[in-house]
Chain A
Amino acid sequence: MKDNNAKETAFYVLLFYVLLLSGWQIVFKAGFIPDYLFPSPAQVGNRLWELGSDGYLFPSIRTTLLRMVVGYVIGAAIGLNIGLLMGVLPIANQCLKSLLLGLQTLPTAAWVPISLLLFGLSDHGIYFVIIMSSVPAIAIATSSGILHISPLYLRAAKTLGTRWYGMPHRVILPAAFPAIVTGLKLGWTLGWHGGVSAELIKSSVGLGFLLYMGRELNDAAQVIGIMVVTILFGVLLDRFCFGIIEQHIRTRWGFEKRT
């Protein structure tokens, strides 16, 4: 994309958000809904500022992110290995595919009750929910990515003397990498859903807990504020973490010209 174009796009995106906030402010001013249910952008900002200075917000963000990182790393490792197994072993694929597709249709929050029963109110339950939410998507994307590798790459690797134990890390995973990244991204999003849902019910710190506390205190400003923070982190991680990897893939594989 040209530099000019990028600046223009940024301008329109900024304008869109200014208009969105203005619209919000106008609806607030019109007073259709009482302000304890529908706060203004300024009230939401204020509440976030208070949460920040009271020492609630940042420990919560840190805790939620830390839980996500730990749970997601474990989930990704499990998902990748299941996906790899399914990709190279047809019988594993046939057995696990329907199960994983079924699990993927389960709303992530549906893992919370069973995790409460299994782990009580400990942090382990939150990890459990994050892992169970992210594994199916990652495994399915990995296996289907592997099954769609051009057989020519496998033949080329074999004739170049690659032995069976070299195939996964030298050919199969790299060739399926674009599909795997898509799965990892989806897995992160679903893990994030699951993690915050679990925190709603069984935590005393974290973004989910702050949402829950806001509801308990009838504090709409806090609820909306934390929702905005949660969305913001989702977008930022998507853009900067996965965005960079996806950009790298697009240039490397020739989906997009190198700049």
Chain B
Amino acid sequence: MAKTLPRDTEGPSAPAVKLRLTNVSKTYRSATQAIEALTHVNLEVKEGEYVVFFGPSGCGKSTLLDLIAGFETPTAGKITLEGKPVTKPGSDRLMMFQEHTLFPWLNVIKNVMFGLKNERAYRFRPGKQRREARYWLELMHLEEFEAALVHELSGGMKQRAALARALAPDPKVLLIDEPFPALDALVRAKLYGDLQEILIRTKKTIISVTHDPREAACLGDRVLVFTPSPGRIQREIPVNLPRPRDINSPEVGAYASQIMAELESAAHERQ
């Protein structure tokens, strides 16, 4: 495959900051009350880093992902991607949702080509779009299913196709909201493997959201522990394990226990 993987040629200098959040707060206002969803979040995500937002539901981690994706705008603070402020949704900060959200009116390869049609390098070049889409489908072991309809795929295959669709436009940051929650354990373990394989090959910058400590330990280079009301980042846990990591290994388990312990102590601290 004629795909250059820039990571191999990287120089000795420290990776650049890709995404920077400065004092980001988000308050939802209704007629009767104001709910502070996030307060004073500061974060730097470096090139090629995998950051996991971990915390209980209602801690603002999904809200923060929406802010980075551009679906919501912060009430205060600043979000910049490679120095440029984030204002609206776009494929440079591509988001994958809990549901696969593949378009049922398109077959598998047309779904993967969907985002490419919006990219300047691919616009009005269906042959090039198709070649690129095939590359990602092969990487996801879906090459035999390119003409299949969405409902003909199994749950795991749908998520892999959604991952191919998300990676094809080469986003600067990939945002994943609770990867693969609706799948059985075996399929999930396989997908964690696939995701890490992609990670090693492309060195994508990824942020994902989860409330599963094992998943956080398996995927993250760095796990940020959120606490609720108002949501903020309370702890930061680097995960120093070689990849690919097996989600069922004792090392991942040890980190998962540490992440849970940190969450509990952080929650106490807040009270």
Contacts and interface: CB of A to CB of B under 8 A. Distances in A.
Interface of A: 152-153, 155-163, 166, 170-171, 174-175, 177, 251-254, 258
Interface of B: 69, 71, 88-91, 93-95, 97, 99, 101, 103-106, 114-115, 117-119, 149-152, 165, 169
B114 A160 contact: yes
Contacts of B93: 159
A252 to B, nearest CB: 6
Given A158-B89, A159-B90, A258 B105 contact: no
B149 A166 contact: no
B151 A161 contact: no
A155 B95 CA distance: 9
B97 A156 contact: yes
B118 A166 contact: yes
Given A152-B99, A254-B151, A160 B94 contact: yes
A254 B104 CA distance: 8
B103 A159 contact: no
Contacts of B97: 152, 155-156
B105 A252 contact: yes
A253 B169 CA distance: 25
Contact of A258 (B94, B106, B117, B152): B152
B114 A253 contact: no
B89 A159 contact: yes
Give the one of A152, A156, A174 with max B CB within 10 A. Answer: A156
Contact of B94 (A159, A163, A177, A254): A159
A161 B101 contact: no
A154 to B, nearest CB: 10
B44 to A, nearest CB: 22
Contact of A175 (B91, B105, B118, B151): B105
